[in-house]
Copies of this chain bind each other. A is one copy, B any other.
Amino acid sequence: MKKLRFRLLIEYDGTDYSGWQVQNGQVTVQGEIEEALTRIFGYHVRITAAGRTDSGVHARAQVAHLDLNDEPDTGRLLRSLNGVLHRDIRVKSIDSVDQVFHARYDAVLREYIYKISAQPTALMRRFVWQLYYQLDLEKMNAAATIILGKHDFASFCRTKSDVENHICNVEFASWYAQDGLLLFCIRADRFLHGMVRALVGTMVDLGRGRIDTTEFRNILAAGDRRSAGPAAPARGLTLEKIFYSKSI
């Protein structure tokens, strides 16, 4: 039977989820969406995302694809899906795509933003790390420059991760202040498990004066997770955007 492929653009508040990927006995974003689709279609529908997000991490524009047996009314499907899903997961759009489109393999860059608030905040509490230290943005940006390009990021990867290699190509990495927040934006071809949070935690150590730029460089070279700083909390991290090779 010929299947039809569709692309979903998904936004979620990850606070109450054990990350993207389906796991036994855990409430996950993928699990919730697949369950909603199964309720709507009456058969199990699998969805494939551009990348996993860790427990508690948010997404502004996760991309996923799915295959259906029949051509649906996508406008109606969008309303049905959002009607069934908890309102902390929203499908923003559903588009018909070519069968060769693959949400993961066609993605060439992923962008994450990590947010730190130097002031107590109620409105942003689910999406920022509230951290009242004085941070040296210039030093943190020196570290951001060090990680640019191709590096082995084993020092910033969860040790239990099962990937074949730890090489990532960081295309952009920068700290900047905006609307009273301190933001770290990073774009790379791929990210390892816990990588952004380990990078942010270690860069904050640098910004607080606990380590210096040379030590940061040594941590990256060490290839050992124990050499880096503690992981920054998940709540501050959002998957912002997925870039594709061709306009789709």
Q: A residues engaging B (CB < 8 A)?
A: 11-13, 58, 60, 82, 87-92, 119-123, 125, 127, 238
State whether A125 touches B82 (Cβ < 8 A). no
Identify 18 residue pairs between A and B in the complex whose beta-carbon atoms are under 8 Å apart, listed by A's number.
A11-B120, A11-B121, A11-B123, A13-B122, A13-B123, A60-B123, A82-B120, A87-B122, A87-B125, A88-B122, A88-B125, A89-B122, A90-B121, A90-B122, A90-B125, A91-B120, A92-B119, A123-B127
Q: Which residues of B contact A120 (CB under 8 A)?
A: 11, 82, 90-92
Q: Which residues of B contact A12 (CB under 8 A)?
A: 122-123
Look across to chain B and name the residue whose beta carbon is closest to the beta carbon of A89: B122
A79 to B238, CA, bound (A): 28
State whether A123 touches B91 (Cβ < 8 A). no
A91 to B88, CA, bound (A): 26
Nearest first, the 7 A-B pairs at minimum CB distance are: A90-B120, A90-B122, A11-B122, A12-B122, A13-B122, A88-B122, A87-B125
A60 to B121, CA, bound (A): 9
Look across to chain B and name the residue whose beta carbon is closest to the beta carbon of A10: B122
A92 to B125, CA, bound (A): 13
Q: Which residues of B contact A121 (CB under 8 A)?
A: 11, 90, 92
Say how far A95's CB is from chain B's closest CB, in angstroms: 14
A121 to B119, CA, bound (A): 25
Say how far A134's CB is from chain B's closest CB, in angstroms: 15
State whether B92 touches A123 (Cβ < 8 A). no
Say how far A117's CB is from chain B's closest CB, in angstroms: 10
Say how far A79's CB is from chain B's closest CB, in angstroms: 9
Q: Which residues of B contact A58 (CB under 8 A)?
A: 123
Q: Which residues of B contact A11 (CB under 8 A)?
A: 120-123
Say how far A111's CB is from chain B's closest CB, in angstroms: 15
Look across to chain B and name the residue whose beta carbon is closest to the beta carbon of A12: B122
Q: Which residues of B contact A92 (CB under 8 A)?
A: 119-121
